[in-house]
Every structure is written in structure tokens, then in C-alpha cells.
Amino acid sequence: MTDQNSWQDDATRDLMSLGGRLALLERGEGSHVWDTDGNRYLDFLGGIAVNSLGHGHPAFVETVSRQAATLAHVSNYFATPQQLELAARLKHLAGTGERGRVFLANSGTEANETAIKLARLHDRDGLIVSLEGAFHGRSTGALALTPKPAYQDPFRPLIPGVKSIAPTIDALEQLFAGGERISALVVEPIQGEAGVLPLPDGYLVRARELTSAHGALLILDEIQTGMGRTGHWFAFQSPEVTGTDGAGILPDAVTVAKGIAAGFPLGALVTFGDASDLFYPGTHNSTFGGNPLASAVANAVIQEIEDQDLLDNVRTRGSELREGVAGLPLVAATRGAGLLIGIRLAAPVAAEVRAAAHERGLIVNAPSDDAIRIAPAYTIGDAEVAEFLELFAQALAAVAETHDVPSATQTQETSA
């Protein structure tokens, strides 16, 4: 092991060289974490939209302990009550009706790999189409749908039969007017890794119309936006995100992970209608996927969100935060929905703002040059909102002082 002063050397020597680590964290409680030097941080990144109940939540702790002591893992020759309960819950929350089915996996990427195989089973000769700016994961299939040269180029050739289009309604219409055979369109309702970028107004509705008309699957990647993050169980159910008056749209499949088990690894693919009949024995599986431990935690997380009416809190606190950051130095606009918020800065200084926040004990991240992302726990209250606004204002002021930046005019960029 390591002594406190040399942990960075140990990390550099022993961990795969994939990027620096900001602190050595050892404990969390609610919305706070502590490093081994005793520094306390307000965690407004939540493990990148994962810690939906914060840290050390009693429902999480109690369920992990109880289920670990009861039954943690069995092979997929067997079903467990926890797994069946979770599948039924996911079908219900997604609104699949009777004809939905669920595959339980261990991560978002694995859920998306399953979605890619679903698309191949639907039409092996059709293209799988993703959007520029998308992030769907790092395994070779999901990576092929993640059109970022720095991520893709070292690993070419990627899987064939995949292409990306601009995230505009024009590009979508051209795609389907072009006569190419399309198996599936894979879309994030809000592009989290790109800086919490909303789709153009009406995009999902048009995507549903065109995919249905051309026999292509509409697959939504709700790994970041799903399981309550936008103040609705799924972003496709959010009137703000879809632009519909509450009717929403139904995809053929949706993938979830991140917040579903509040920090316990779990991903899922949920299918609707005919897409539920595509897999058959032998075509897919996973050793750990849907084990009783992970499933029990997800059931407890969903139950807690329901019991405490946390979706309402997500919407309310999200509005408070967006209103609170309006007018702070450097803030040009906010975007996103619920507690997935992108704060666009008036200059490309997001990395400096992130660092200044960290120095003051606030964890946020900078997914692009000019955007800060926050994705705090659904459980945040007045105290956490106030602490965030104070620390974030200090960080912004410190960075603004060192730059000659235009004074910002605050706007809300589409989805609320």
C-alpha cells in the first residue's frame, strides 16, 4: 500500500496510464467526500451522474449488506427474485407494457454493446447510425458509435456498418431520404460528455417518425439521462427534453446504467414491442449481469426515489441551481434538465474553473473547453444548493479576475 504523500507516485507507477487522478478519496457521506488528508469536498459530479442517492445512503448500505449475506451471485442458469423484480420495475418505469424485455449487464458500455447486437439482429445489412458529439462507451462496438478521433483512431479498424451524422433535423431527414438501409439510430437525449448538449427542438419526435417509417430501430442511450436524472424516470418521458406536451415518445430500446444502482455496477437494455423478440438463446449473456446483489441495490434505489419523491426534488433543485448560477461571473448560459446541468462559460476557461472549484473543495467537471457539468445526488437540499452556489461563485470570480472576459448575459439553452 501507500503512504499519503506518495499516492500519486504509486498511481503513476501501478495504474494503467490513462490520465491523472485529482485526489485520494477515502470516505463519503451524503453529498460530501473526504480525501486521505482530511480535505472535505462537496461532490456535485456524483461519480459522473452515478451517485444518485449520494454517499453512504442507508438504503444502499443496508441493501448491500443484507443481500451480500443472503445471496450475492448465481450463474445465469438460474433466475433470482431480485432480478425478476428489477426487470418488472424497469419495464413498468419505461412504459414498455407487456411486450417489454430486459437484459441486465454490468456497465453502460456493456448495455450499449447489447443494443448494437440488437440492431444487428434486427437487420444485419443495415447501418447503425449515431450522432456527432456522441459518447456511447469505450469497448470496440460502442467506440464505433463514439465519433471522436482521439478515442477512435488508435483502435481502427472499428466495427463496420456504422456511421455518424450531424445532430440536426436536416441531417436526420437527409439520412432517411438517401436510400441507405438503416438498421438503427442510436441517440442520447442530451449529450452529456459533449457538454450537456440538448438535441434540437423536436429531434426525438422526428427521429421516431422517420425510424418507424423506414423500419429502423430507435435506440436511446439514457445511461447518463436515465433513472431520474432529468426529473423523469427517462428523458424520453420529459416534456422539456422531447418538446411534446407530456405524451413523450417510445423508443424500440433504451440503455441505462450510471445512477440505476447509485454506485453499484449495473447496466441494462430495455426493449419495447417487436424488438423484444430479437434475441434468442445463445446470442448473448453475461456472467455477472443481473446478479442478485446488483439487482437488489437497484430495486432499493428505485424504491427510495419513489418513497422520497426524489424526482420532484430533482426538478426543483435543478431549477434552483440554474437560477442560482444565472448572473454569476463568466456564466453565459445553462442547459440540460433536472440535475444534469451544463453551465456554458463566456470564455474557454472551463478547465481553470474546475481546478479553482477543486481548490475550494467543490467537485465539478469540464466536459468541454467552455462548459462545466454538474450532476449531484437527487437528495440535495437547501444546504447543498447554498454551499455549491457559494463555492462556485468564488471559483468563477477567481478565474474571471485573471482573464479579460466579456461580462456574460445569462440564458437558458432549450431543455429546462
CB 106, min distance to ligand PLP, A: 8
Task: Spell out the residues 6+ positions from residue 322 whose beta carbon is closer than 8 angstroms to its own.
Answer: 334, 341, 412
Closer to ligand PLP at the Cβ: 222 or 370? 222
> By beta-carbon distance, which residue lies closest to ligand PLP?
108
CB 221, min distance to ligand PLP, A: 5
H/E stretch holding 26 reads: strand 25-29
CB 260, min distance to ligand PLP, A: 10
Query: Checking DSSP bridges between strand 411-413 and strand 331-337, what pairing results, if any?
Result: parallel
The window from 19-27, 187-195, 246-254, 351-359 that contacts ligand PLP (CB under 6 A) reads 187-195
CB 107, min distance to ligand PLP, A: 4
Kindly determine how many residues on this chain lie close enough to bind ligand PLP according to the rule CB under 6 A: 15
Residue type, position 371, single letter: A
Residue span 188-207 as binding mask against ligand PLP, x where in contact by CB under 6 A, dash where not: x---xx--------------
CB 254, min distance to ligand PLP, A: 11
Residue span 31-70 as binding mask against ligand PLP, x where in contact by CB under 6 A, dash where not: -----------------x----------------------
Beta-strand ranges (E) seen in 51-166 are 101-105, 127-131, 162-165
Q: Give me the numbers of helices (H) and strands (E) for the chain, helices first please.
A: 14, 18
The cell 473543495 sits on which residue?
361
Tell me the residue length of the chain: 416
CA distance 291 to 269: 15
Contact between 147 and ligand PLP per CB under 6 A: no
CB 332, min distance to ligand PLP, A: 23
Q: What is the DSSP string of 330-385?
A: TEEEEEEETTEEEEEESSS-HHHHHHHHHHTTEE-EEEETTEEEE---TT--HHHH
Contact between 224 and ligand PLP per CB under 6 A: yes
Which residues within the stretch 84-143 sit at the binding site for ligand PLP (CB under 6 A)?
Answer: 107-109, 112, 135-137
Beta partners for residue 101, in sequence order = 271
For binding to ligand PLP (CB under 6 A), which residues are involved? Answer: 48, 107-109, 112, 135-137, 188, 192-193, 221, 223-224, 257
